[in-house]
Every structure is written in C-alpha cells, then in structure tokens.
Structure 1
Amino acid sequence: MIGELLPAAVASAEAFEDCSEDELFPQERKLLGNSVERRRREFTTVRACARRALADLGLPPTPVLPGVRNAPRWPDGIVGSMTHCDGYRAAALARAAEMVTVGIDAEPDLPLRPGVVESIALPSELSWVRAAVPGAVHRDRLLFSAKECVYKAWYPMMRSELDFEDAEIAFATQTVDPAGSSGTFTAQVLRPARHASGRWMDAFRGRWAASRGLIVTTIALPAVER
C-alpha cells in the first residue's frame, strides 16, 4: 500500500504478518522488557520493515532505538518514519540530502470512538467529516491519520510539538476503484516555524489510500523545493 504513495527517493517496506523476535538486536530486545505479546509483535515487525528499507538505501542493518519523544533514531544522514496498527506495519526512509522529512501513519478503516473527532478537528475539518458519504472511507479516522502523519513529519525535523489543532487538513482529491480509494491532502501549519536550513515550514502536501480495511497517510518533503 505505502510504496505507491511515496516518491522514488523514499525506500519503504510493509508487513501484514509478524516476524520472529530473532530479528531484533539485543539493544532492542532489552527495551521490550515484560511487554505484552501484541506490543512485542508490532515492535519487532516494524523494525524488520525499517531494516528492509535501510537495505534498499544500501545501508547495513542497525538497531532502531527511540530518541526524544520516542522518535526513531536513524543513522546519520537518514530521515524516516514508522507506523503500525492491527494487521499492518510499515517504515519509510530516505537520505536527508533528498528528503527533509518523511511521515507515515496507518490506521484501521473504522470509526473513531465517540467524541474523539470533536476533540481533534477544527471547524472546517469537522464539517468535512460530517459530510461523509455512507459506505466510503471513514473520514474521522482518515483525518486522525493525516494529523498523526503531520506530527511524524514535523517533530523530527523541527524538534517542537504540534497539537491536533495546530494543523488544518484539507482533502483535495479522491479516486475510488475496486481495490479501494485514494487521494491527496494539504496540511496548513497554524504555528509555522523556520527550519535550521532557513526554510519556512508552514504547509505540507500528503497522499492517502484506503484498502484492505486500512487507511495509510504519507508526507514526503523534498530537500529541494519544487
């Protein structure tokens, strides 16, 4: 699912089934401690995905350890993101010389719990959610995923936090075919800031897809503005 949403400069890998903990480095296994089985499976498999993406970039396998705010610590010169939900794990990585940041998120294509969308949505977003067509992608969950995707793109790049209300999402296009649906979105950052490179960060463009009972959202910001 995810590879079709990302530019060629981004290496990605996904899994619909879990792998053995034998895939873990000792440093990673130590982090699991007495975690429950579900946590162990998602932790292990998403890291296996990350190492497949590293290999696609010509890099050796390495432990993927959490940094500040649990953002993954990648090898020098690499940017990327990981995600997992029931039945799906994925990682997407790129060289910093080609991409400033990469953010991905995956969610089940199911409604959010009552009251959640009202707590994360701006008025324009809530209007869009409430205009949903029955039987289509669950717009509340799609909105939630897009906002998570923005955060995953923003935090490693800027080292500052965004709340749900700090980015306004607008979904621009949507296509539907027998395999599912897909489209694009824009995210206007309402608390913009200047990147260390001097580049002003105030908006992102993203892509999404829904199929196999899943929603995936992606953002990949090129190092050279186009």
Structure 2
Amino acid sequence: MIGALLPPGVAWAERFADDVPEALFPQEQQAIAQAVPKRRREFATGRWCARRALHRLGLPSVPILPGERGAPGWPPGVVGSITHCPGYRGAVVARAGAFLTVGVDAEVDEPLPDGVLEAVSLPAERSQLDRPGPPSWDRLLFSAKESIYKAWFPVARRWLDFTEAQVTLHDDGTFTADVLVDGPLRAVGGRWLSSGGLLLTAVAIPAPAYFPPASRPAPPRRGRPAQ
C-alpha cells in the first residue's frame, strides 16, 4: 500500500501482521528488552520492514536503534521512517543525497476518540472535516500531522506541536501544510490513501539540491515518540 504514495527513489516494505522472525540485532534486543510482548512484536516487524527497504537500496542490514524521542537511528547517508498500527507495519528509506527527509504514518480508518480532535487541530482545519466519508477525515488529519512531524523532527531536531502546522486535505489523495513556526520546512506536501480499513500518509521531500531555484524550501519541549 505505502508504495503507491512514494516517489521514485524511496524504497519501502510493509507487513499486515507480525508474521516474521524476531531477527533483531543484540543492540536492538537490549533496547526493547523491558517492553511488553506486543511492543516487542511490532518493533521487530518494523525493523524487518526497515531492513527489507534498505536492501532495496542496495544497503546491508544494520541495527536500527531508537534515538532521540524514539526516532530510528538510520545508517549514515540514509533518511527513513517507520510506522505501525493495528493490522499494519511499514518502513520507508531513501538516500540522503536525493531526499532531505521522509515521514510516513498508518492509522486505523475510524473516527478519533472524543476530545482528541480539538487537542490536535486548529479551527480552520476542523472546518474542512464536515464532508462525507470514508475516509474518517479527522483521523486522516491526525495521520497527516504525524507524517509531517516524522519528516520535520530529523531535520529540525525539535518538537513540532500539532497546532504548529496547518493542514489542508484534498480529495485527490494529497494534502498540503503550512508550518507556522521557524524551521527548516515551511510548506510541506504529502499524499494519503484509504484502503482496507487503513489510512496511510506519506511525506517525501527532495534534498535541496534537487529543487529548482524558484521552489527551493526556506531553510526542548514535550514530545511524542517520532516512530
């Protein structure tokens, strides 16, 4: 599914169940040793997906350890993102020379719990959600913001609040966002997909050298885990 949202040059892998061997490196096993079994399974499947995606770039298997705010520690010269939700695990990677950053998110296609939408959105964003579904537009908005955050954090190295990016969802399977604080990204675009009871969103931003000059992008708080 996730491959339909990604441009050439971004490699990916996905699974719909934790049905792969828990082939973790010793360092990864140590990092997850205190986690509950469910978290261990999704962690192992996510790393399996990440290594499969790295192989598609012609790169070897390496440990991918949780770093700052839980963001995966990719090998030098690689950018990437991992996501998981009930019924889905996926990872995307790209060479840093071609892409500045990538971010992906998966969610179950169902409405957000009561009270969550108001906490993660701006009034202008909520005004666009009154349209027939599927998808669950509020959950899709949440997912788009998660993808943006996962793309933002590795280059900004700082938290981006849900209310610091204003997202517009488009019916054609795309979304756009204005980042409302200073940082390395100002305008962000991405793609979304609703299929099989799942929502997927993806952001893939080419490296600055790959932007035409006219479209070149402008160059500790509480936090949620990045992946």
> What TM-score, normalized by structure 2, do the two folds share?
0.89
Q: Does 1:113 align with 2:113?
A: yes
Residues 70-219 of structure 1 aligned to structure 2 (within 5 Å):
70-129=70-129, 131-133=130-132, 135-174=133-172, 183-193=173-183, 195=184, 201-219=185-203
SS of 2:45 mapped into structure 1: helix
User: What does residue 30 of structure 1 align with?
Assistant: 30
% identical equivalent positions: 53
SS of aligned partner of 2:114: coil
Equivalent residues, number? 210
Query: What is the deviation of 1:166?
Result: 0.3
Q: What's the CA shift for 1:33?
A: 1.7
SS in 1 for 2:118: helix
The offset of 1:35, in angstroms, is: 2.0
CA distance in 2, matches of 1:28, 1:80: 17
> Which residue number in structure 1 is paired with residue 225 of structure 2?
none
Q: 33-42 vs 97-106, which deviates more? A: 33-42
1:19–1:44 Cα contact (<8 Å) kept: no
User: In 2, Cα distance between the equivalents of 1:93 and 1:221?
Assistant: 12
**2-structure distance, mates of 1:36, 1:161:** 26
Letter in 1 for 2:150: K
Structure 2, unpaired ranges of 5+:
213-227
Contact kept? 2:20, 2:48, Cα under 8 Å: no
Output the TM-score relative to the length of structure 1. Answer: 0.90
Structure 1: 4+ residue segments shifted above 6 A = none
Give structure 1 stretches of 5+ with no counterpart. 175-182, 196-200
SS in 2 for 1:173: coil
Name the residue aligned to 2:216. Answer: none
Question: Distance between the aligned counterparts of 1:64 and 1:34, measured in 2?
Answer: 17
Q: Aligned partners of 1:34, 1:157: CA distance in 2, in Å?
A: 29
